[in-house]
Chain A
Amino acid sequence: MNRPNHAASDGRRRRNDWIFILSLLLVVSLAGLALFFLRGVGDTVIVTVDGVIYGTYPLDRDITVEIRTGDEEQNRNVLVIREGKARVEEATCPDGICAAHKPISREGESIVCLPHRVVITVHAENGDQEPDIIA
Chain B
Amino acid sequence: MRHTSRKLAYLGLCTAVALILAYVEVLLPPLYSAVPGIKLGLSNIAIIFVLYRYGVRHAAVVSFVRIAVVSILFGNPMTFAYSAAGAALSLLVMAILRRMDVLSTVGVSVAGGVFHNVGQILMAMWLLGTAELGYYLIVLAITGTVSGIFVGLCGGMAVKRIPMRNI
Residues of A within 8 A of B (CB): 10, 13-14, 16-17, 20-21, 24-25, 28-29, 31-32, 35, 48, 50-52, 95-98, 100-102, 108-110, 112, 114-115, 117, 119, 121
Which B residues from 46 to 103 make CB contacts under 8 A with A? 76, 78-79, 82, 101-103
Q: Which of A28, A51, A102, A121 contacts B138 (CB 8 A)?
A: A28
Q: Report chain A residues within 8 Å CB of B138.
A: 28, 31-32, 35
A114 touches B145 (CB 8 A): no
What is the bound-complex CA distance between A110 and B131, given in angstroms?
10
Q: Which of B103, B106, B124 contacts A114 (CB 8 A)?
A: B124
Q: Report chain A residues within 8 Å CB of B104.
A: 10, 13-14, 16-17
Which B residues from 115 to 151 make CB contacts under 8 A with A? 124, 127-130, 132-136, 138, 141-142, 145, 149
Instruction: Known A109-B135, A115-B78; judge A97-B129 contact (CB<8 A).
Output: no
Query: In the complex, what residue of chain B is closest to A14 when comparing beta carbons?
Result: B104
Instruction: Known A24-B114, A48-B128; judge A13-B103 contact (CB<8 A).
Output: yes
Residues of B within 8 A of A (CB): 29, 33-36, 76, 78-79, 82, 101-104, 106-107, 110-111, 114, 124, 127-130, 132-136, 138, 141-142, 145, 149
What is the bound-complex CA distance between A100 and B106, given in angstroms?
31
Q: Which of B76, B107, B130, B142 contacts A25 (CB 8 A)?
A: B142
Query: In the complex, what residue of chain B is closest to A1 when comparing beta carbons?
Result: B164
A51 touches B135 (CB 8 A): no
Q: Which of A20, A48, A114 contacts B82 (CB 8 A)?
A: A114
A115 touches B132 (CB 8 A): no
What is the bound-complex CA distance between A109 and B135, given in angstroms?
6
Instruction: Known A51-B130, A119-B128; judge A95-B33 contact (CB<8 A).
Output: yes
Instruction: Known A32-B138, A114-B124; judge A21-B107 contact (CB<8 A).
Output: yes
Query: In the complex, what residue of chain B is closest to A110 when comparing beta carbons?
Result: B132
Query: In the complex, what residue of chain A is closest to B129 when comparing beta carbons?
Result: A51
Instruction: Known A17-B106, A110-B130, A119-B132; judge A95-B142 contact (CB<8 A).
Output: no
Q: Report chain A residues within 8 Å CB of B114.
A: 24
What is the bound-complex CA distance between A95 and B76, given in angstroms?
12
What is the bound-complex CA distance between A121 and B124, given in angstroms?
14
Q: Report chain B residues within 8 Å CB of A24.
A: 110, 114, 141, 145
| Distance of A24 from chain B, by nearest CB (Å) | 6
What is the bound-complex CA distance between A110 and B36, given in angstroms?
11
Q: Report chain B residues within 8 Å CB of A97.
A: 33-36
Interface centre among B33, B79, B101, B136 (most CB of A within 10 A): B33
List 25 A-B pairs, Cβ < 8 Å: A13-B102, A14-B104, A14-B106, A17-B106, A20-B111, A21-B110, A21-B145, A21-B149, A24-B110, A25-B142, A32-B138, A48-B129, A48-B130, A50-B129, A51-B129, A95-B29, A97-B34, A101-B34, A108-B132, A108-B134, A110-B130, A110-B133, A114-B78, A117-B128, A119-B128
